[in-house]
Structure 1
Amino acid sequence: MKKLMMPVAGLVVLLSSCVSSKKFQQAQDDYAVLNNKYTQLQEDLKNCEKDLVKASNFLQTSENNNANLKEQLKTYKDQASNLQSTNTQVLGRLEDLSVLSSKQAESVQQSLAKLAERDIYIKDLQGAMARKDSLNMALVMNLKGSLGPIADDDINIEVDKGVVYINISDKLLFTTGSYDVNPKAMNVLEKVATVLKNQPNIEFMVEGHTDNVPIKGGALRDNWDLSVLRATSVVRTLQTKFGIDPKRMTAGGRAEYVPVMSNSSASGKAANRRTRIVVLPELDQFFQLLNPGTTAEKPAGK
């Protein structure tokens, strides 16, 4: 009987060991899954923090612009108030002396009418600037939302002095020394085109930029040739593949003469090799504001 008990006891120990090993392995697998999720959440948090910093910077710029406009508005209102006071004094003196001729009265009335027009002009200008800032913010948010999690080294969107700039890296669009658009860049250009097509009144310029490394041999004579041909390649792609109206686009090359970093390092050269889409302001609206009562004529083809 004792001989029979010994194997049974050994079997129980062996089964217990197997069950513990399985539980331990399952726990390890669960930990690995949770750890991967934690790492992904950390990465998402970093991306959110970057977007928050960019949004904060954009908000600060808008607030500064708004403060400047308020200061200008205050100056105009002070001037209008001074002119109004002067005209009131003149009217009072003329009435006291009983020498207010019909011609003088008409002149005073014209001055008062000009003051009223100036007040309307100030309000229109303030409203136009507010609308422009709102449109730029909406455009930037739409672009960022459409492009998704693309690295800032590949594509960067910024606003400077009321103008929206979309910077696309050379490595995303072209191979070295080439001006043929990479097939892998079509997805990004399609997303940009979709947002721009939803704003049919916006015109934009596509600029090609290079580093300062000279072109050697081939059909290209220098970086002027390369930058211009890269810009026209992007414009042609936006027109033929994604249906952007060619009347809205301008292509230009800047060669190596507008760098964003020093060309003394490889990273600086990489940053300078880029294509920039510049969203142009609607200048005709501001011409109308500067010349009340007239309609600004747009150049032919626009």
Structure 2
Amino acid sequence: MKNPVLSFVLLTSIVTGSGCVSNKKFDALQTSYNTLQSNNSELNRQLQTCQQNLSGSTARVQGLEEQINALRANTASLQAALNKCLTSTNQGNVNISKLVDEINAANSYIKHLVETKNKSDSLNMVLTNNLTRSLSREEMRDVDVQVLKGVVYISLSDKMLYKSGSYEISSTAGATLSKIAKIIMDYKDYEVLIEGNTDNVPISQTNIRNNWDLSALRGSSVVQALQTQYGVDPKRLTAAGRGEYNPVASNDTDAGRTTNRRTQIIITPKLDQFMELINKAPDGSDQK
């Protein structure tokens, strides 16, 4: 690119050599010179910027080339390791085909377990929905139904279920127990644990030694009612008592103690079915 200042000097010389010029022409030439000088400065600035960008790009290109070379070296190392591994595998005792079969068998077993669990979860939800729909609004005030870790918990308050301070079932509890019994009868592949729970206030009955006795007697009362009055197979039933040692609320308040005084009907899939699944697990004992 030609230097605009040099051009202006030449132009001035020509004009001067031609004779005197008017002030108007001189001012125009001066303006043109200033414009050219400003453009020249801007072009120089842009040139410096381009040179700086070029330097940065060159450095980045160099860095990328170094990374590419490092990746190529790493790839070569991995390829060498793979070749060594394949050679070792061919010479070793590992039977790849057998390993693949064992992996496929394990995956099939896991898939079966997941399907079984999903089926159990679905049945638990159906059971819960059927029970809650069968209970009235008044009954639901004394009955709490939950599904926790694949197990259905039906919690019954003692004020609804028993006579005060006793393990004898009250007459008003019959309607509720009959609805629960029907659900239990509909799901014959489930085990049923009846578990009594108390607060921490000592019992003062001559024929009951402590809260352990009271909780166990209450669990047993419900079991016998389900068997004798509603026809539930006793082989599916288990009576238990946990006394005051399984609280779900603080015993420091009346409300907490009321919550802790409860009998839980715990409905679970039969354990022998799960043991059968476990026994069908792929045998990996002969793996090397």
Q: Same fold (TM over 0.5)?
A: yes
The aligned runs of 1:274-289 (5 Å cut-off) are 274-289=262-277
Question: Within the alignment, does 1:172 sit opposite 2:131 as a pair?
Answer: no
Q: Which residue of 2 aligns with 1:229?
A: 217
Gap runs ≥5 in structure 2: 1-81, 283-288
User: Which one-letter code corresponds to 2:203 in the other structure?
Assistant: I
SS at match of 1:259: coil
- Alignment TM-score, normalising by the size of structure 2: 0.64
Larger Rg over CA atoms: 2
**Identity percentage of aligned residues:** 42
The aligned runs of 1:174-193 (5 Å cut-off) are 174-193=162-181
Shift of 1:171: 0.5
The alignment's C-alpha RMSD in Å is 2.4
- Say if 2:194 and 2:266, in contact at 8 Å, map to a contact too: yes
The CA distance in 2 between the partners of 1:189 and 1:274, in whole Å, is: 14
Q: Which residue of 2 aligns with 1:153?
A: 141
- Alignment TM-score, normalising by the size of structure 1: 0.61
Shift of 1:285: 3.2
The CA distance in 1 between the partners of 2:271 and 2:238, in whole Å, is: 16
SS at match of 2:137: coil
User: Which one-letter code corresponds to 1:271 in the other structure?
Assistant: T
1:255 to 232, 243, 260: 243
Shift of 1:244: 0.3
Alignment deviations for residues 132-160 of structure 1 (CA, whole Å, 9 cap, x no partner): 11011011011111223235431110111
Shift of 1:246: 0.4
Shift of 1:126: 1.5
Shift of 1:272: 1.0
Shift of 1:227: 0.7
Question: Within the alignment, does 1:199 sit opposite 2:187 as a pair?
Answer: yes
Query: Which deviates further from its counterpart, 277-286 or 198-207?
Result: 277-286
Question: Within the alignment, does 1:108 sit opposite 2:96 as a pair?
Answer: yes
Shift of 1:291: 3.2
Shift of 1:131: 0.7
Alignment deviations for residues 6-30 of structure 1 (CA, whole Å, 9 cap, x no partner): xxxxxxxxxxxxxxxxxxxxxxxxx
Shift of 1:217: 3.8
- Say if 2:106 and 2:281, in contact at 8 Å, map to a contact too: no
Gap runs ≥5 in structure 1: 1-88, 295-302
Shift of 1:286: 3.0
The CA distance in 1 between the partners of 2:231 and 2:214, in whole Å, is: 25
The CA distance in 2 between the partners of 1:217 and 1:239, in whole Å, is: 27
Q: Which residue of 2 aligns with 1:127?
A: 115
The CA distance in 2 between the partners of 1:268 and 1:293, in whole Å, is: 45
Question: Within the alignment, does 1:216 sit opposite 2:204 as a pair?
Answer: yes
